[in-house]
Amino acid sequence: MPTIKDVATKAGVSIKTVSRVINDEPGVADSTRQRVNDVIRQLEYVPNLSAQRLKRGRSELFALLLPRVESPYAIKLFSYILREAQKRDYSVLTLAEVNSTPITPAQIEHVVKTHRVDGLIVAPPGADNVVLMNFLKSNHIPYVTINPNLLNEHPFSVESTDEIGANEATRYLISLEHKRIAHIACMKTERFSHERRKGYIRALEDAAPAASAPLIVQGDNSIESGHNATLELLNLPDPPTAIFAGNDEMAVGVILAASHLGLSVPGDLSVIGFDDTPISHQIFPHLTTIAQPIPEIARVSVENLLELIDGKQDVPEFVQIPTRLVLRGSCGVPIQN
């Protein structure tokens, strides 16, 4: 493997000049820069990361705390964060729960110290762990949280627009001329549940009297709870013609319940989910849903963290990123109006 010395010798310059070229520093004549770059290409020279890191006194490594990696949301977030980090020559140390063995703050503290991570990106449930957050704050370790449940607790966070997304989902059902639209709510422990519920209620209130009053059943995010909530809803004297499920799993439960009752989706019942997880295009009909802006969340989180690590002062404290309505096959015009 060629080193910076080999490049310097062959280009007839000092290693410092090569270093300037590598790091895009100013103060190198264009002709010199070009010559050095040619040699770099010719020798297929790549700087030794370990040497750079040692000298810079930085690990160029950040930790990523994820919930159960089995969750599709976590996985997608993970892959995009990985990709964004790689673009910027950063490594990612992923700490994720496997088989619901939770990671303790003490473990994280140990990893942070051992690997000298420059910072952290923290997704729930880590972002809601007060002990952990206090450790990070008191040690002045830069970190960015993603969709935290605890608000105003974190200096820097990146969020998706759950309220607006839910509002858009509901307005879409209204635009199809559904009047009676139910909502199956996610677990109350998650802040996004409230946001989604609020967006749903706001849409109905704005559309009144074209849409009837809110009709909400509490779910627990699982397929089964979506299934049971649907049976309950469809047994009402005046059943809904459309259901906005708080997440895709419960929306799948809606489809399964409809199928058990001999109802067709979207013929007899329209369903819309939230999250755009893989299950949304594994089920039949494919699920119309609200997509989380995961690629953008990943990009902004990484960018902001690296700026914090660089000591920049103008890092935005609170970023909201818009969700997106994804039209598939689970919504239609109501049969009875």
Binding site for a second copy (CB under 8 A): 1, 44, 46, 48-51, 53-54, 59, 69-70, 72, 75-76, 78-80, 82-83, 91, 93-94, 96, 98, 113-116, 222-224, 227, 249, 256, 259-260, 278, 282-284
The continuous run of DSSP H or E covering 303 comes out as helix 294-309
Is residue 4 at the binding interface for DNA, with CB under 7 A as the rule? yes
Are 164 and 199 contacting, i.e. CB atoms less than 8 angstroms apart?
yes
Q: Which does 171 bind (CB under 5 to 8 A by kind): a second copy, DNA, none?
A: none
Q: Which residues pair with 272 in a beta bridge?
A: 244, 288
User: What span, in angstroms and rounded, lies between the C-alpha atoms of 242 and 262?
Assistant: 16
Binding span for DNA by CB under 7 A among 13-21, 143-151, 158-166, 229-237: 13-21
Residue 59 three-state SS: coil
Q: Which is nearer to DNA, 23 or 100 (CB)?
A: 23
CB of 73 to DNA, least distance (A): 37
Q: Which does 14 bind (CB under 5 to 8 A by kind): a second copy, DNA, none?
A: DNA
Residue with tokens 């950063």: 90
CB of 94 to DNA, least distance (A): 24
Classify the phi-psi angles of 222: left when phi > 0, otherwise alpha if psi is within -120 to 50, otherwise beta: beta
CB of 90 to DNA, least distance (A): 15
User: What span, in angstroms and rounded, lies between the C-alpha atoms of 271 and 248?
Assistant: 10
Residue with tokens 């770099």: 40
CB of 278 to a second copy, least distance (A): 5
Are 94 and 78 contacting, i.e. CB atoms less than 8 angstroms apart?
yes
CA angle 276, 277, 278 (to 5 degrees): 120
Is residue 26 at the binding interface for DNA, with CB under 7 A as the rule? yes
- Let me know how many helices (H) and strands (E) the chain has, helices first: 12, 12
Q: Which is nearer to a second copy, 93 or 326 (CB)?
A: 93
Binding span for DNA by CB under 7 A among 2-10, 211-219, 253-261, 290-298: 2-10
Which of 10, 13, 76, 145 is in the footprint of DNA by CB under 7 A? 13
The continuous run of DSSP H or E covering 259 comes out as helix 248-260
Q: Which does 93 bind (CB under 5 to 8 A by kind): a second copy, DNA, none?
A: a second copy
Q: Which does 139 bind (CB under 5 to 8 A by kind): DNA, a second copy, none?
A: none
Q: Where are the beta strands (DSSP E) in 138-261?
A: 143-146, 157-160, 181-185, 215-218, 242-245
Residue whose C-alpha is closest to residue 8's, from 21, 27, 23: 21
Q: Which is nearer to a second copy, 153 or 232 (CB)?
A: 232
CB of 91 to a second copy, least distance (A): 6
Q: Which does 3 bind (CB under 5 to 8 A by kind): a second copy, DNA, none?
A: DNA
User: What span, in angstroms and rounded, lies between the C-alpha atoms of 284 and 255?
Assistant: 8
Which of 34, 38, 42, 51 is in the footprint of DNA by CB under 7 A? 51
Q: Which does 44 bind (CB under 5 to 8 A by kind): DNA, a second copy, none?
A: a second copy
CA angle 188, 191, 193 (to 5 degrees): 55
CB of 154 to DNA, least distance (A): 29
Which of 9, 10, 24, 29 is in the footprint of DNA by CB under 7 A? 29
Q: Which residues contact 303 (CB under 8 A, 6 or more apart)?
A: 84
Joined together, the tokens standing for residue 11 give 């280009």
Binding span for DNA by CB under 7 A among 16-24, 214-222, 262-270, 280-288: 16-24
Is residue 56 at the binding interface for DNA, with CB under 7 A as the rule? yes
Is residue 88 at the binding interface for DNA, with CB under 7 A as the rule? no
User: What span, in angstroms and rounded, lies between the C-alpha atoms of 191 and 292?
Assistant: 15
